[in-house]
Amino acid sequence: MSRSDTLLSVRGLRVGFAGVEVVRGVSFDVHAGEVLALVGESGAGKSLTARALLGMAPREATVSGDVLLGGSPVTPADWGRRIALVPQDALSALSPVHPVGDQLALALRSVRGMSRKDARRRAAAALEEVGIPAARSRAHPHEFSGGMRQRAVLAMALVNEPELVVADEPTTALDPETQDKVLGLLRERCAARGASLVLVTHALDVVREHADRMAVMYAGSLVEYGPVDRVLARPLAPYTVGLLASLPAVDGVPRTRLPVLPGRPPTPGELPHGCVFFPRCGRATDHCRTARPEPRSLDGREVACHHAAPESV
């Protein structure tokens, strides 16, 4: 059920390649002004989900389901203006041949029809908002440090004041201190404009520090989805329990030397019957081998597990 402040509504999103589904019926909402973190092991389908929100899935993908931004399907005309992507690789988002300030000014002119002079002035201000002095607006991307380049990408994503920013592991190429600063800045700039943020990340401390709600993906579907403080304090799906325990603690030191998530996720197209997590699940029963769990509301979040119960944790 959508709330009245739902900005983005995703229902039954499926993405497949050559008949093999890798995102398998994902549904969630993004509320106005919130940060929603999307987490899960490599290959879970986070990036494809993120890109499908913008209608930017690869050309060879088959996509179905509903993605509604403010009640309407997202179209390329919305890119940059209502919904913007911050990719992992800053260089791919910036042209190497034009000064950064000119690239921002061009984005402003093409979306807002600003005059050249106004666009230049606004572009310099947009760079200053992300901590890049206006005097550097004539610099090319290669003249910036990695952290500055990623800040410039944030400025580019935010310059036309989108309602929703989708950031796919936007800082993994940066050192931890710079990562934290850039993420803090991204969240702050979104909050200042009332924009919502979908943040794909592997880092639990990033979720804890920067997100309001989180969605946990496994093998192409959501297994647990709810407020960060609830899910982190008491994860209910066995996969979430294992994932959270396997991620490094805030200081980067592993929580445990034991493999808390034994085995590997299934290969797309070769999913087990029943619950797709059962080969790795310590709580699996015979029922789990035959019946696939549907998401249900439990303890203030959605959980897809036959045996999740608040008292079982």
Ligand X SMILES: Nc1ncnc2c1ncn2[C@@H]1O[C@H](COP(=O)(O)OP(=O)(O)OP(=O)(O)O)[C@@H](O)[C@H]1O
CB 262 within 8 A of CB 248: no
Question: Which of ligand SF4, Mg ion, ligand X, none does residue 43 bind (CB under 5 to 8 Å by kind)?
Answer: ligand X
Report the site for ligand SF4 in 229-258 (rule: CB under 6 A): 237-239
Question: Which of Mg ion, ligand SF4, ligand X, none does residue 306 bind (CB under 5 to 8 Å by kind)?
Answer: ligand SF4
Output 25 or 99, the one with its CB closest to ligand X: 25
**Binding region for ligand X (CB under 6 A):** 17, 22, 40, 42-48, 58, 268
Output 187 or 306, the one with its CB closest to ligand SF4: 306
Output 17 or 79, the one with its CB closest to ligand X: 17
Pairing relationship of beta strands 196-200 and 20-31 according to DSSP bridges = unpaired
Output 42 or 256, the one with its CB closest to ligand X: 42
Question: Which of Mg ion, ligand X, ligand SF4, none does residue 307 bind (CB under 5 to 8 Å by kind)?
Answer: ligand SF4
Q: Which of 157, 103, 159, 167 is nearest to 126 (CA)?
A: 159
Residue 82 CB, shortest distance to Mg ion, in Å, is 23
Question: Which of ligand X, ligand SF4, Mg ion, none does residue 189 bind (CB under 5 to 8 Å by kind)?
Answer: none
- DSSP, residue by residue, the chain: ---TTEEEEEEEEEEEETTEEEEEEEEEEEETT-EEEEE-STTSSHHHHHHHHTT---TT-EEEEEEEETTEE--GGGBTTTEEEE-S-HHHHS-TTS-HHHHHHHHHHHHH---HHHHHHHHHHHHHHTT--GGGGGS-GGGS-HHHHHHHHHHHHHTT--SEEEEESTTTTS-HHHHHHHHHHHHHHHHHHT-EEEEE-S-HHHHHHH-SEEEEEETTEEEEEEEHHHHHHS--SHHHHHHHHHS--TTS--S-SS-SS-S-PPPTT-PPSS-TTGGG-TT--HHHHH-PPPPEEETTEEE--TT--GGG-
Question: Which of ligand X, ligand SF4, Mg ion, none does residue 283 bind (CB under 5 to 8 Å by kind)?
Answer: ligand SF4
Residue 54 CB, shortest distance to ligand X, in Å, is 14
Question: Which of ligand X, ligand SF4, Mg ion, none does residue 58 bind (CB under 5 to 8 Å by kind)?
Answer: ligand X
Window of 89-97, 121-129, 141-149, 302-310 that interacts with ligand SF4 by CB under 6 A: 302-310
Output 121 or 283, the one with its CB closest to ligand SF4: 283
Residue 115 CB, shortest distance to ligand SF4, in Å, is 58
CA–CA separation, 186 vs 197, rounded Å?
9
Output 124 or 276, the one with its CB closest to ligand X: 276
Residue 70 CB, shortest distance to ligand X, in Å, is 25
Output 15 or 132, the one with its CB closest to ligand X: 15
CA angle 165, 192, 38 (to 5 degrees): 35
Report the site for ligand SF4 in 262-301 (rule: CB under 6 A): 275, 277-278, 281, 283-284, 288, 293
Instruction: Kindly list the residues in this chain that would bind ligand SF4 in the complex (CB under 6 A).
Output: 237-239, 275, 277-278, 281, 283-284, 288, 293, 305-307
